[in-house]
Amino acid sequence: MLELAELIEKANTAIKQAKNITDLELIRIKFLGKNGFLKLKIKSLHKKSNDKNSKILILINKAKKQIHNELNLRKIILQKEKINKRISSEKIDISLPGRYLNNGNLHPITISIQQIENIFTKLGFSIETGPEIENSYYNFDALNISINHPARTSQDTFWLNSKLLLRTQTSNVQIRIMKKIKPPIRIITSGRVYRKDYDQKHTPMFHQTEGFIVDNNINFTNLKWILHNFLNIFFEKKIKIRFRPSYFPFTILSSEIDIMDKKNKWLEILGCGMIHPNVLRNVNIDPEKYSGFAFGIGIERISMLRYGISDLRRFFENDLRFLKQFK
């Protein structure tokens, strides 16, 4: 017992005199290690068998805990001393300029979509989305596109199988919404569409915004007013616009809209028209009671005109020199 007390006192003295973490670790090994004093003491007890051994083992374990606690306390003190010494010796030059963090930019297509949706939501339109992998019913059949229409061929459309395809237009959302919601309806939807085409003015994947209204007494004058105002707001100036007769299977009184450019030439910008009665019937809306109009905007085309971009492929090259121009 006397020997154990002397061992503890010796260990405590050594711990208090330790000047760094390395010295402390050597003390731990000396007293608590595999070949340390206390471990050897326990081994010597196993060689003798008497009733006092169990009581001595309890005392040795208490001594181990005591030494271990003292080691931890001294370790905390030494670590704090090391940190304080480092703080006092190191200085921060507050005159140095801060580190500059490069913030990313939104893609011009994303900017255009946000601006278009912002304009139409202020006019009471709700934003909806739809699937890019679509079946032929929503992409063609319900939109009054006949079975023999050229758009259905594999030369124009990416078919996944006999029924599924990559949507060729955002009009599929129009059908899905009209099947789910009854008039009055006022929806805007944007997203990627896919067609087999690639040159300076076309890419296999591009972006469209589709808008449509279905309600009582909707007429072509309503369509003209909304699109005329939208184009003036989007281009941030008053521009010359003309409505040119056209044909789409899903609209009757169909029209293309052209705008006058800086060279006094007309440029096609979007398509629109009054929703065909057959389309309304396909979604169980009575064309005798309700009417509506729809329009489709090519995001890349309208962005090129707004920002003066001559080559559509610039949008997809990921050239930071190009993309950083847009805020």
Average pLDDT over residues 58-85: 84
Domain with residue 274: its CATH number is 3.30.930.10
Higher pLDDT, 101 or 315: 315
Q: Is the pLDDT of residue 67 over 90?
A: no
Supply φ then ψ for residue 225, to 5 degrees: -65, -45
Flag whether 304 is in a domain. yes
Shared domain check, 295 and 248: yes
Over residues 156-198, the pLDDT tens digits come to 899 999 889 999 999 999 999 999 999 999 999 999 999 987 7
Q: Which helix (H) or strand (E) holds 260?
A: strand 251-260
Flag whether 103 is in a domain. no
Flag whether 100 is in a domain. no
Q: Is the pLDDT of residue 53 over 70?
A: no
Rounded CA-CA distance 284/286 in Å is 6
Last residue of a domain, one of 89, 121, 150: 89
- Is residue 280 within 8 Å of residue 292, measured between CB atoms? yes
Boundaries of domain holding 290: 108-323
Flag whether 19 is in a domain. yes
Rounded CA-CA distance 82/292 in Å is 77
Over residues 236-272, the pLDDT tens digits come to 888 899 999 999 999 999 999 998 888 888 888 899 9
Rounded CA-CA distance 112/13 in Å is 76
Flag whether 101 is in a domain. no
Over residues 275-304, the pLDDT tens digits come to 999 999 999 999 999 999 999 999 998 998
Shared domain check, 117 and 238: yes
Rounded CA-CA distance 229/221 in Å is 12
What pTM does this model have?
0.66
Residue 226 pLDDT class (50, 70, 90 cuts): very high
Alpha helices in the chain (DSSP H): 2-17, 21-32, 37-47, 52-89, 108-122, 136-139, 171-180, 220-234, 277-282, 299-307, 320-323
Share of the chain above pLDDT 90, in %: 45
Shared domain check, 178 and 147: yes
Shared domain check, 256 and 161: yes
Number of domains in the chain: 2
> What's the pLDDT at 104?
75
Shared domain check, 216 and 140: yes
Nearest to 81 by CA among 141, 24, 139: 24
Flag whether 94 is in a domain. no
Sign of CA dihedral 222, 223, 224, 225: positive
Q: CB 319: neighbour CB atoms within 10 A?
A: 10
Flag whether 73 is in a domain. yes
> What's the pLDDT at 317?
84
> What's the pLDDT at 15?
82
